[in-house]
Amino acid sequence: MMNLLEKNRIWLAVFILMAFLISVPFFASDYWVALLVLILIFTVYASGWNLFSGLTGYTNFGLAWFIGVSGYVSSLLIADYQWVWLLAWPIGALFVSGVSIGVGYILLRIRGVYFAISMVALTEGTRELFGTGYLEPITHGGEGVPFVAGVRLPILYWSTLLLAFVTLIVCYKITSSKFGLRLMAIREDEQAAETLGIHTTRDKIIAFVLSAFIVGLAGAIHCTYQNYIDPTSAFNIQLTLTPIVMTLFGGVGTVFGPVIGATLFTFIHEILWAELTLLYMAIFGAILMGLILFFPQGLLGWMKEKGILPRSRKI
């Protein structure tokens, strides 16, 4: 009985929070809605990164590649072929997850640092390729594509909210499922996992492609939100780095850590960017170093250690 009440209380809290978030565009100014869109987009980036890297231990330094490829496909569909945004976004995400099957099949054989480097190489290579004259008829070269998708801010906000909500449910379900356990087994000891009969390659690729789809969807929305795309901004290393820092702060491998990290860091970004434009990135680098040295388990990991939160995979 107690347990049931506890469970219902949590669902009630979720319900109230969602109701509040849905109603935000009716009373808040555009500034706050736009800020919330960014928070939600980065929540999805961070959760998407965490879904693959946090669980399997394969550090993905190519998040910007997911974002850039999906952003390019969807933006070009909207700009050059006058597609509706609602259709262009999933097509972009489907495209990048389709390519990710191949990429994952090839690159996920490489372990540890080499995997991280090869994803960086893939991102850098694709960025340069999209800016060359060879692909100019399709990508418009290095100067980028401005476009108007014709989606109003509240609609954009609600779509992002829906995406973030679904992403969190997916992450929650996966982390508490057997599939999630298998991924964590890969993280702890891939060889041992394989000897126990886990089809490691298949599971890794599924997680990788799922992460690509989620992040790709958010990436497409992000590009529409900015009404502009060019290789340097779409494949920017900062798009890889920021979600990683957010996840590290919140707690790698936790479900709600990325949300906390994304919310906090988007606010920090908003404040620091306005006040200290030039030093902002330097502070960011210093925070990243400090997190690794002094706070490697993240906020939620620390709270679990101290007994403030139960040691459950589901949080």
Partner 1 sequence: MINFIEILIRGLMLGSVYALVGMGLTLVWGVVGIVNIAHGEFIMLGAYFAYWAFSLLHFNPLLSVALSIPFFFIFGMMIHKRITERLITAHELSALILTFGMSILIWNLAQFFWTNTYRSVPYLTGNFPVWGLVFAKSKTISFGLAIGISIALFVFLKYSKLGKGIRATSQNSEVALVCGINTMKMRAVTFGMGIGLAGAAGAIVSLQWVIFPQMGGSYVSKAFAIVVLGGLGNIQGALVGGLIIGVLESLVTQYMSAKMAQIVPSLIILLILLLRPTGLFKK
The residues of the shown chain that bind partner 1, judged by CB under 8 A, are 57, 59, 106-107, 109-110, 112-114, 116-118, 120-122, 124-125, 128-129, 131-134, 241, 244, 248, 278-282, 284-289, 291-293, 296
Locate the DSSP E strands across the chain: 145-146, 228-229
Secondary structure element (H or E) that encloses residue 116, with its range: helix 112-131
- Give the tokens for residue 76: 């070009």
Closer of 30 and 136 to partner 1 (Cβ): 136
Closer of 145 and 248 to partner 1 (Cβ): 248
Closer of 130 and 157 to partner 1 (Cβ): 130
Q: 75 and 187 in contact (C-beta within 8 Å)?
A: no
Secondary structure element (H or E) that encloses residue 303, with its range: helix 298-306
What sign results for the dihedral spanned by CA atoms 259, 277, 62, 99? positive
CA dihedral in degrees (197, 201, 203, 206; nearest 10)? -160
As measured in angstroms, the least distance from the Cβ of 169 to partner 1 is: 28
As measured in angstroms, the least distance from the Cβ of 119 to partner 1 is: 10
As measured in angstroms, the least distance from the Cβ of 80 to partner 1 is: 22
As measured in angstroms, the least distance from the Cβ of 115 to partner 1 is: 9
Q: Residue 197 carries which DSSP code?
A: T
Name which of 17, 267, 285 is nearest 164 in CA terms.
Answer: 17
As measured in angstroms, the least distance from the Cβ of 124 to partner 1 is: 5
Residue 246 buriedness (CB in 10 A; 0-12 / 13-18 / 19+): buried
**Cα 20 to Cα 16, 80, 161, distances in angstroms:** 6, 37, 12
Name which of 91, 124, 156 is nearest 234 in CA terms.
Answer: 124
As measured in angstroms, the least distance from the Cβ of 160 to partner 1 is: 27
- Give the tokens for residue 204: 């890794």
Closer of 42 and 61 to partner 1 (Cβ): 61
Closer of 127 and 222 to partner 1 (Cβ): 127
Closer of 94 and 287 to partner 1 (Cβ): 287
3-state secondary structure of 43: helix
Closer of 146 and 296 to partner 1 (Cβ): 296
As measured in angstroms, the least distance from the Cβ of 23 to partner 1 is: 38
CA distance 88 to 100: 18
